[in-house]
A and B are shown apart, each in its own frame.
Chain A
């Protein structure tokens, strides 16, 4: 298993644990004080866990790009991982904070989180597209 896949899968497991913790907080009796927690719960599950797991396994198992570069452009793979995890971490921190006490700083952190996550998706598509090919 390539080293980048291991990073993806371990980060995915961390997000699964975080998602379930957010789920527990959301299930506490009474109205939760953290208004931005539900989208964090959904996105740590669907994006941090599931999508990141898919990214890691696809990088490992999809047909080779070439014999010299079996997993395509390594830097694009790492860029995907770093952008995704910084973007999602910013979201996990600042979406609930923005829900409790909005500020200019938290507003722009959400914009940066959005851009980083969007770029991670595009980087994955760019690096994977040519590996999806007929034998």
Chain B
């Protein structure tokens, strides 16, 4: 497994733990209400569980197992995928910051960063989506 996939997948595991923690608190609070204000964390639960865990895991595994090129660099221009990793994670935390501070434009910046991250990842790995051996 390449180093970048290790970063992506371990980050996704961290978000899985965080997403499950917020999700567990929300469900428990639904049963026995101990903190009504916790519903404000619902968007964080969704962001961590969907973008942080599922999307990022898929990107990490894709970077690892997509067909490689026969000559170096075997995974194409890795700089794009590295940049995508940082943008995705920065984007997630901008969105979390918006929920904590209620500054609306932070979510906009976060979503743009996530879009740029996914776009860079797609460009960086586009040509790896090919028949084996070609």
Contact = CB atoms under 8 A, between A and B. Distances in A.
A121 B32 CA distance: 22
Given A128-B13, A132-B9, A121 B20 contact: yes
A125 B16 contact: yes
Contacts of A98: 30-31
B32 A107 contact: yes
Interface centre among B5, B6, B24, B31 (most CB of A within 10 A): B31
A114 B16 contact: no
Nearest to A46: B49
Given A46-B49, A129-B13, A133-B6, A108 B24 contact: no
Interface string A1-31: 0000000000000000000000000000000
A135 B1 contact: yes
Interface size class of A (residues with CB under 8 A): 20 to 34
Nearest to B49: A46
A64 to B, nearest CB: 11
B6 A114 contact: no
Nearest to A94: B31
Contacts of B31: 98, 106-111, 113-114
A124 B17 CA distance: 9
B21 interface: yes
Contacts of B25: 114
B56 to A, nearest CB: 12
Nearest to B65: A61
Contact of B17 (A91, A111, A121): A121
Contacts of A121: 16-17, 19-20
Contacts of B20: 117-118, 120-122
A95 B30 contact: yes
B17 A125 contact: yes
B6 A115 contact: no
Given A114-B28, A134-B1, 17 more contacts: A46-B50, A50-B54, A54-B57, A95-B30, A98-B30, A98-B31, A108-B32, A109-B31, A110-B31, A114-B31, A118-B21, A118-B23, A125-B17, A129-B10, A133-B6, A134-B6, A135-B2
The 6 closest A-B pairs by CB, nearest first: A110-B31, A121-B20, A118-B24, A114-B27, A114-B28, A107-B31
